C-alpha cells in the first residue's frame, strides 16, 4: 500500500486515483441520458432530443440547473447530518470502484529522462491495490446504509424517515444473500484478490476433474459457467443493494414522494444521484470481475494481445499501453451491457410489495445461496481430489 | 514511516470519537460517532497487517451492528438529554473511582502486552501474503479453537431465539397474533 519509490511513480499513482474517480463521476450524466432515452425507447416515446445532437447536451443544461438552484435546507432539520448525508452517499461507491482492476497492468521499462534513469515500473490499472479485494468492497459498500439513514432521519419528515428505514432494512437483508452468493466463487478461485481472480479466468473453460484437467474449447473460462446460480443471486441482490426497481421501495413515488431524499434539492440531490449511479457501476464492474472474466477478451489471454501489438511494430512500452487500453475498452463494453440490463429491468418490471421483498430476501435467496455454497464445497472437494 | 503517521491519525480519531460517543447529547450522534470509531479501528487492524479482520470489522460492526443501532434509535421519538452527566458529590466520587480503575486496567494491559508487540513478524505487513495469513487464521479456527468457535455460534443462536421468545411473552409487536 505504498505510493511508489520515486517522484514519477508517486505522481502517476496520484494522477491515476484522480482520473479513475473523475471517470466514475463523469459517467453519471451519460448514464442519466441513457436511462432517459432508454426509458423513452421502451415506453414508445422520444425522450430528451431537443438540446444538441440526440439530446446529449441536455446533461450540460441539467448540470447548470443543479448548480444554480437555491441552496435550500428545510426548517427543523438537523443541519450537520443533513449536509453530511449526500457526501456519505458518494464515498463508498468511489472507494469501492477504485479497488477494482479496470484493465491489465501496464509495464514501463527503464528510460532516461531529465538526466537520470527511471524505472522499470509496473502500474496497476486501478486507483489502489488491496489484497483482500472482495472483503474490502463488501465492507465499504455496507457503509452505504449510513447515507440513507442519515438523510432520512435528519430531514425531519415522515416520508424521508420511512424511506430510510425501508432502505436500510432492505440493504441489511440482501447483504447476507450477496455475501453468501460469493462464497462459491471464493472456493473455486481460492483468493480474495480481484487481479488473481481475473487471471484465473483466462483462456477457454478448463477445470480439474479427478486429477486431470478438462478443457472445453468452445466456452470462455468465465465464472458464470462454474457458478450460474451464484451469478443469478448476486445479480438480483445487487439490484436490491442499489435500490433500483423492482426493489426501489425506499423511494416508491406513489407512497413516499421520493423516499429518503424527499427534502433535498439542487447539488445535494445530484450527489445522491451520483451515489446511486456510482453504486450501479460498482455493481456491474463486480459482476464482470466475478462472473464475466473481468477485462479478459474471451478465449484470448492478455499476453497474446500484447504479442500481437509487438508484432505490429509497437515498442515494449507502447504495446503494454495499447494492450491495457484495448482490454479497458473490453471491460467497459461488458460493464455497459450490464448497466443497460439494469436500465432495461427498471423500465420493464413493476415494484415488489414490501412483504414480498422480505420473503424473497430471507426465504428464497438466502437458502438458495446457502445451498449453492454447500454444493460448491462438495463439488470442489470431489473434483480436485485425485480418484486413485 | 507513513504507517506511523497513519497510525497516529487513526488513533486520534478513535480517541476523540469514542470520547464524543460518551458526551454527545443526542443518542443518534453517539451512534454515528461509534460508527466512525469502528471504521478507524478497522484501519488500525489493516495497518497491523490483519487485513481480513479489518474487512470483517468493517462488514460486521460498522456495516451491520451499528446500522441496526442507528435504525432502532431513529424509530424512537428522541428528546435531547438535558445533560450528559448527572451531578452530585457521591456519584462524582464514584465516577472518578471507576475512571481511575478503568485507566489502571488499560495501562496494566498495555504494559503486560508489550512483549507480544516485539514478536510481530514484519513480513505479515506486506499485501502479498494476506491470503496465507487467512489460511493460518482459518486453520486455527477450525482446528485448535473449533470448540470455542462452535459454542459461540450456539450462544448467538440462543440469544436470537431467546429475544424472540421474550418479546412474545411480554406483549411485543406480535402479541395477540
Q: What does the pLDDT look like over A366-379, one tens digit per residue?
A: 999 999 999 998 98
How many angstroms separate the CA atoms of A205 and A25, rounded? 35
pLDDT tens digits, one per residue of A329-347 = 888 899 989 999 988 888 8
Furthest-apart CA atoms within chain A: distance in Å: 76
Out of A130, A153, A172, closest to residue B67 by CB: A172
How many angstroms separate the CA atoms of B116 and A60, rounded? 59
Given CB atoms, is A288 within the 8 Å cutoff of chain B?
A: no
A357 SS3 class: helix
- Mean pLDDT within A281-301: 85
Q: How many C-beta atoms lie closer than 10 Å to residue A102's C-beta?
A: 23
How many angstroms separate the CA atoms of A46 and A109, rounded? 51
pLDDT tens digits, one per residue of A350-364 = 888 888 888 888 888
**pLDDT score recorded for residue B155:** 94
Given CB atoms, is A165 within the 8 Å cutoff of chain B?
A: yes
Judged against a pLDDT cut of 90, whether residue B121 lies above it is answered with no
> Looking at this predicted complex, what is its ipTM?
0.79
In this prediction, what percent of chain B has a pLDDT beyond 90? 19
Out of A129, A135, A142, closest to residue B127 by CB: A129
* Poorest-pLDDT segment among A58-72, A170-184, B83-97: B83-97
The contact set of B with A (CB < 8 A) is 2, 28, 32, 35, 39, 42, 51-52, 54-59, 62-64, 67-68, 70-71, 74-75, 127-128, 130-131, 134
Q: How far is CA B138 from CA B142, B144, B162, in A?
A: 6, 10, 30
CB-CB under 8 Å, B51 with A1: no
**pLDDT score recorded for residue B152:** 92
- Residue to mutate among B6, B59, B78, with most A CBs inside 10 A, is B59
The most confident of A23-27, A237-241, B154-158, by mean pLDDT: B154-158
**pLDDT score recorded for residue B45:** 87
In this prediction, what percent of chain A has a pLDDT beyond 90? 2
Residue-averaged pLDDT of chain B: 79
Residue-averaged pLDDT of chain A: 83
Instruction: Write out the H or E segment, with its range, that includes residue A192.
Output: none
**pLDDT score recorded for residue A51:** 79
- Mean pLDDT within A39-50: 84
Out of A139, A145, A168, closest to residue B58 by CB: A139
In this prediction, what percent of chain A has a pLDDT beyond 70? 96
Judged against a pLDDT cut of 90, whether residue B158 lies above it is answered with yes
**pLDDT score recorded for residue B177:** 46
* Rounded to 5°, angle at Cα B133 from B146 and A185: 80
- Mean pLDDT within B135-157: 87
Reported as a pLDDT band with limits 50, 70 and 90, residue B28 is confident
Judged against a pLDDT cut of 70, whether residue A77 lies above it is answered with yes
More confident residue, A150 or A117: A150
**pLDDT score recorded for residue B16:** 93
A90 SS3 class: helix
Contact A164, A151 (CB under 8 A): yes
Q: Which residues of A touch B56 (CB under 8 A)?
A: 135, 139
Q: How far is CA A117 from CA A120, A161, A170, in A?
A: 9, 60, 55
A352: which DSSP letter?
A: P
Is the whole model's pTM more than 0.80, yes or no?
Answer: yes
Reported as a pLDDT band with limits 50, 70 and 90, residue B111 is confident
How many angstroms separate the CA atoms of B20 and B10, rounded? 15
Out of A142, A153, A165, closest to residue B28 by CB: A153
How many angstroms separate the CA atoms of B28 and B98, rounded? 25
CB-CB under 8 Å, A136 with B55: yes
Q: Which residues of B touch A1 (CB under 8 A)?
A: 127
- Quote the minimal CA–CA distance from B109 to chain A in Å: 30
Q: How far is CA A4 from CA A9, A20, A133, in A?
A: 5, 18, 20
Instruction: Write out the H or E segment, with its range, that includes residue A92.
Output: helix A79-98
Judged against a pLDDT cut of 70, whether residue B105 lies above it is answered with yes
More confident residue, A118 or A179: A179
User: In chain B, which residue's Cα lies nearest the Cα of A1?
Assistant: B127
Given CB atoms, is A1 within the 8 Å cutoff of chain B?
A: yes
How many angstroms separate the CA atoms of B54 and B38, rounded? 10
More confident residue, B171 or A236: A236
Amino acid at each position: 500500500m505504498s505510493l511508489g519509490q520515486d517522484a514519477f511513480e508517486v505522481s502517476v499513482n496520484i494522477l491515476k486515483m484522480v482520473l479513475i474517480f473523475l471517470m466514475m463521476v463523469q459517467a453519471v450524466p451519460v448514464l442519466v441520458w441513457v436511462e432517459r432515452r432508454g426509458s423513452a425507447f421502451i415506453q414508445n416515446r422520444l425522450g430528451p432530443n431537443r438540446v444538441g445532437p440526440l439530446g446529449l447536451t441536455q446533461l450540460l443544461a441539467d448540470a447548470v440547473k443543479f448548480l444554480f438552484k437555491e441552496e435550500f435546507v428545510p426548517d427543523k432539520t438537523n443541519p450537520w447530518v443533513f449536509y453530511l448525508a449526500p457526501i456519505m452517499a458518494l464515498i463508498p461507491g468511489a472507494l469501492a470502484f477504485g479497488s477494482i482492476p479496470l484493465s491489465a497492468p501496464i509495464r514501463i521499462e527503464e528510460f532516461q529522462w531529465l538526466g537520470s534513469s527511471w524505472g522499470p515500473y509496473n502500474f496497476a490499472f486501478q486507483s489502489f491495490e488491496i489484497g483482500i479485494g472482495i472483503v474490502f468492497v463488501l465492507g465499504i459498500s455496507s457503509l452505504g446504509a449510513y447515507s440513507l439513514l442519515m438523510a432520512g432521519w435528519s430531514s425531519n419528515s415522515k416520508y424521508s424517515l420511512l424511506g430510510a428505514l425501508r432502505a436500510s432494512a432492505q440493504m441489511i437483508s440482501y447483504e447476507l444473500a450477496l455475501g453468501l452468493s460469493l462464497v462459491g466463487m471464493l472456493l473455486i478461485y481460492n483468493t480474495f484478490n480481484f487481479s488473481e481472480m481475473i487471471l484465473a479466468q483466462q483462456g477457454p473453460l478448463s477445470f480439474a476433474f479427478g486429477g486431470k484437467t478438462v478443457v472445453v474449447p468452445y466456452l470462455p473460462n468465465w465464472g458464470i459457467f462454474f457458478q450460474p446460480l451464484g451469478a443469478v443471486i448476486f445479480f438480483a441482490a445487487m439490484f436490491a443493494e442499489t435500490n433500483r426497481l423492482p426493489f426501489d421501495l425506499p423511494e416508491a413515488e406513489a407512497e413516499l414522494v421520493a423516499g429518503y431524499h424527499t427534502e433535498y434539492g439542487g447539488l445535494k440531490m445530484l450527489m445522491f444521484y451520483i451515489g446511486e449511479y456510482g453504486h450501479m457501476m460498482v455493481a456491474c464492474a463486480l459482476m464482470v470481475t466475478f462472473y464475466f472474466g473481468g477485462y479478459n477478451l474471451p478465449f484470448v489471454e492478455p499476453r497474446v494481445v500484447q504479442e500481437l501489438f509487438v508484432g505490429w511494430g509497437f515498442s515494449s512500452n507502447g504495446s503494454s499501453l495499447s494492450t491495457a487500453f484495448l482490454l479497458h475498452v473490453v471491460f467497459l463494453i461488458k460493464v455497459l451491457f450490464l448497466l443497460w440490463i439494469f436500465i432495461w429491468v427498471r423500465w420493464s418490471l413493476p415494484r415488489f410489495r414490501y412483504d414480498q421483498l422480505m420473503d424473497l430476501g430471507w426465504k428464497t435467496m438466502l437458502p438458495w445461496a446457502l445451498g449453492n455454497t454447500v454444493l460448491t464445497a462438495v463439488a470442489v472437494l470431489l473434483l480436485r481430489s485425485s480418484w486413485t | 514511516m507513513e504507517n506511523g503517521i497513519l497510525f497516529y491519525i487513526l488513533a486520534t480519531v478513535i480517541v476523540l470519537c469514542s470520547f464524543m460517543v460518551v458526551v454527545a447529547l443526542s443518542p443518534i450522534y453517539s451512534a454515528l460517532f461509534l460508527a466512525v470509531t469502528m471504521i478507524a479501528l478497522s484501519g488500525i487492524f489493516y495497518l497491523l497487517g490483519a487485513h481480513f479482520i479489518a474487512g470483517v470489522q468493517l462488514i460486521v460492526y460498522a456495516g451491520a451492528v451499528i446500522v441496526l443501532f442507528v435504525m432502532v434509535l431513529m424509530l424512537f421519538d428522541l428528546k435531547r438529554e438535558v445533560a450528559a452527566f448527572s451531578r452530585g458529590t457521591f456519584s462524582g466520587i464514584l465516577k472518578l473511582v471507576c475512571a481511575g480503575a478503568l485507566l489502571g486496567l488499560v495501562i496494566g494491559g498495555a504494559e503486560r502486552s508489550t512483549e507480544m508487540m516485539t514478536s510481530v513478524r514484519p513480513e505479515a505487513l506486506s499485501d502479498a501474503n494476506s491470503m496465507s495469513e487467512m489460511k493460518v487464521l482459518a486453520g486455527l479456527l477450525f482446528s485448535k479453537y473449533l470448540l470455542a468457535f462452535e459454542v459461540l455460534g450456539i450462544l448467538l443462536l440462543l440469544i436470537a431465539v431467546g429475544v424472540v421468545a421474550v418479546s412474545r411473552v411480554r406483549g411485543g409487536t406480535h402479541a395477540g397474533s
